């Protein structure tokens, strides 16, 4: 620029509405441009606006100024392209995630992109000497938890991430997604995980494995007659290991929120959804979090059938002290009640009446109540209207079947837990064909793992089709107890009447318990209903048989093989 020409200082700021304001001394007309405007647009606007006011030659000077400042059109404390500290990188990545919700969709962000950390940012070399120049672009390194997540991001979301970061930084961006064990970043930033209402991370863990159909309940106490003492919570059922997606986001968020203020927010919290979608996992997670935050808080987790057993035992007892002990156990001995499978309270007016009074006592005392069920409260027609109404006083949150993105995330994470190497085509094959619930996905992986071990071969699409073909190709149907009885009898070569009869030989007793276990697992039949379907047996007999079978399935290979074969024949 000739010496006779003066230099014009142009300042750029970002206002609250997301527009770039150009402040030019001595010029009244200062243009406003969208924050996403590229450098060329900003330079052209500056030249056109300022050129006439300050004379010829300003264009070259303004061009240089804009090139220097194009990446700095954020608020003064916003992260720039040359961000280096963990705090700056974390803030920058959060802004990129906000843009990605529009570019890639909220589901993709929640399921995949929240699991990434921005760990380094540096200019790409623009000259033979290798020196960096932000005008040539920026290299951004994202760190994923494992190779599978990194590969999925590279295959499906890299373009969207680069576009979002270019919007935030104002320069071209090349993104590299690497696993935690991959190329080392320049430094380790503070993680920017998704957090729940308490600020604790969620959505980074394992598959939601809801043992709705299981019977691993606390053993009965011979000393007191109570079937539910201080219930031990399942160690792996925590918020950190609950995979969050669109279908369960509300329930997970509400569950985290009530841990912060038990009895104040959402009382009761009523979680409902189909089999295997995470209801029990969420109840246990609440228990773990509350005990961690308030160690003196008395948290009582109990399955509905266990509560029913306790009430029945108290009624049969002629000892008034025993009856009072049961009442104190749930009313006075609990600050938080987590009741699983509330649908089994239906069908018995006395049980419903007893729970109605328990609900009132706890709620009036400001104690937190959390209920789970396989259906919405208004659909629990076997309960009195006044109890159904109370169940809706707080918040009713649904757990829906996982969408495709969430199914892929579940499969990849669970495969990591099982130390399985799943090629992408196998993951997509399973995710596209197994759409019902989380437990179905887990069962498929266990079966695939067993076939791979027995055949001493790696997992590929051919093995997946051979091992899971019957399970995947059989059309889904609503199972009934009668169908389960018939298929079980066929498997063992006995008659359905044997399952319903009084024979005590092992060749009949084991198939009978397996059939009862499968009816309990795959249908909504109550324990008394199952007892009637199997020859009028008492519900306690059914409960004992189901609990025993639940343990045998995990301990005895012959039982496990038989159950898996029957479930495959049933399409489960």
Residue 539 binned pLDDT confidence (cut-offs 50, 70, 90): confident
- Is 178:144 a contact under the CB 8 Å cutoff? yes
Between 153 and 388, the higher pLDDT residue: 388
Distances (CA, A) of 455 to 251, 441, 449, 534: 41, 21, 10, 39
DSSP string over 77-116 = TS--TT--SHHHHHHHHHHHHHHHHHHT-HHHHHHTGGG-
Q: What is the mean pLDDT of residues 485-514?
A: 89
What is the set of domains in the chain, with CATH numbers? 11-72 (no CATH), 86-179 (3.30.300.180), 239-399 (3.40.50.300), 404-473 (1.10.8.60), 481-570 (1.10.1750.10)
What residues have CB less than 8 Å from 555, skipping those under 6 apart?
Answer: none
Mean pLDDT of the chain: 74
For residue 341, pLDDT over 70 is answered with yes
Residue 509 binned pLDDT confidence (cut-offs 50, 70, 90): very high
How many other C-beta atoms can be found within 10 angstroms of the C-beta atom of residue 512?
25
Number of H helices, E strands in the chain: 22, 11
Residue 57 binned pLDDT confidence (cut-offs 50, 70, 90): very low
Residue 208 binned pLDDT confidence (cut-offs 50, 70, 90): very low
For residue 518, pLDDT over 80 is answered with yes
Q: What is the mean pLDDT of residues 350-361?
A: 91
Q: In the prediction, which pLDDT does 387 show?
A: 94
What's the alpha-carbon Rg for the chain, to the nearest Å?
A: 31
Phi, then psi, of 280 in degrees rounded to 5: -65, -40
Q: In the prediction, which pLDDT does 350 show?
A: 85
* Least confident segment among 16-20, 331-335, 374-378, 556-560: 16-20
Residue 471 binned pLDDT confidence (cut-offs 50, 70, 90): low
Structure tokens, 390: 């109370």
What pTM does this model have? 0.47
- Is 461:425 a contact under the CB 8 Å cutoff? yes
What residues have CB less than 8 Å from 436, skipping those under 6 apart?
Answer: 274, 276, 401, 476
């Amino acid at each position: 620029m000739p010496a006779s020409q003066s230099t014009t200082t142009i300042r750029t700021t970002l206002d609250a509405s997301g527009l770039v304001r150009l402040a030019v001394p001595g010029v009244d007309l200062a243009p406003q441009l969208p924050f996403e405007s590229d450098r060329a647009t900003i330079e052209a606007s500056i030249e056109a606006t300022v050129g006439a006011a300050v004379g010829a030659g300003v264009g070259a000077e303004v061009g240089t100024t804009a090139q220097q400042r194009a990446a700095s059109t954020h608020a003064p404390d916003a992260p720039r392209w040359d961000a280096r500290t963990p705090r700056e990188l974390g803030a920058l990545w959060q802004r990129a995630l906000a843009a990605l919700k529009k570019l890639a969709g909220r589901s993709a962000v929640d399921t995949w992109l929240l699991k990434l950390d921005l760990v380094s940012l540096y200019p790409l070399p623009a000259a033979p000497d290798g020196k960096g120049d932000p005008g040539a672009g920026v290299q951004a390194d994202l760190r994923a938890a494992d190779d599978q997540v990194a590969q999925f991001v590279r295959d499906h979301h890299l373009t969207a991430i680069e576009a979002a970061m270019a919007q935030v930084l104002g320069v071209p961006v090349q993104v590299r997604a690497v696993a935690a064990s991959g190329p080392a970043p320049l430094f380790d930033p503070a993680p920017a995980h998704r957090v729940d209402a308490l600020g604790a991370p969620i959505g980074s863990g394992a598959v939601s494995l809801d043992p709705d159909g299981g019977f691993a309940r606390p053993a009965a106490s011979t000393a007191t007659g109570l079937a539910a003492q201080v219930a031990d919570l399942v160690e792996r059922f925590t918020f950190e290991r609950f995979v969050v997606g669109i279908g369960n986001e509300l329930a997970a968020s509400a569950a985290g929120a009530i841990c912060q203020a038990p009895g104040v927010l959402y009382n009761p919290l009523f979680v409902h959804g189909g089999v295997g979608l995470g209801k029990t996992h969420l109840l246990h997670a609440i228990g773990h979090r509350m005990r961690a935050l308030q160690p003196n808080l008395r948290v009582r987790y109990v399955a509905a059938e266990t509560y029913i057993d306790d009430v029945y035992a108290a009624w049969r007892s002629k000892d008034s002290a025993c009856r009072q002990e049961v009442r104190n156990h749930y009313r006075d001995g609990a600050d938080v009640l987590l009741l699983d499978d509330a649908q089994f309270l239906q069908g018995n007016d006395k049980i419903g009446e007893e729970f109605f009074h328990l609900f009132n006592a706890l709620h009036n005392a400001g104690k937190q109540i959390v209920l789970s069920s396989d259906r919405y409260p208004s659909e629990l027609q076997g309960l009195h209207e006044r109890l159904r109404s109370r169940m809706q006083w707080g918040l009713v949150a649904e757990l829906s079947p996982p969408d495709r993105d969430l199914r892929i995330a579940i499969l990849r994470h669970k495969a990591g837990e099982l130390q399985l190497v799943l090629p992408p085509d196998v993951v997509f094959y399973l995710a596209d064909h197994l759409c019902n619930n989380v437990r179905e996905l887990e069962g498929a992986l266990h079966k695939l793992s067993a076939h791979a071990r027995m055949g001493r071969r790696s997992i590929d699409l051919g093995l997946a089709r051979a091992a899971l073909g019957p399970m995947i190709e059989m059309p889904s149907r609503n199972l009934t107890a009668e169908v389960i009885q018939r298929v079980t009898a066929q498997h063992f070569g006995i008659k359905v009447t044997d399952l319903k009869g009084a024979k005590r030989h092992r060749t009949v007793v084991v198939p009978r318990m397996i059939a009862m276990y499968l009816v309990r697992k795959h249908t909504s039949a109550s324990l008394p209903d199952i007892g009637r379907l199997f020859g009028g047996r008492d519900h306690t007999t059914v409960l004992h048989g189901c609990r025993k079978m639940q343990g045998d399935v995990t301990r005895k290979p012959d039982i496990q093989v038989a159950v898996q074969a029957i479930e495959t024949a049933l399409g489960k």
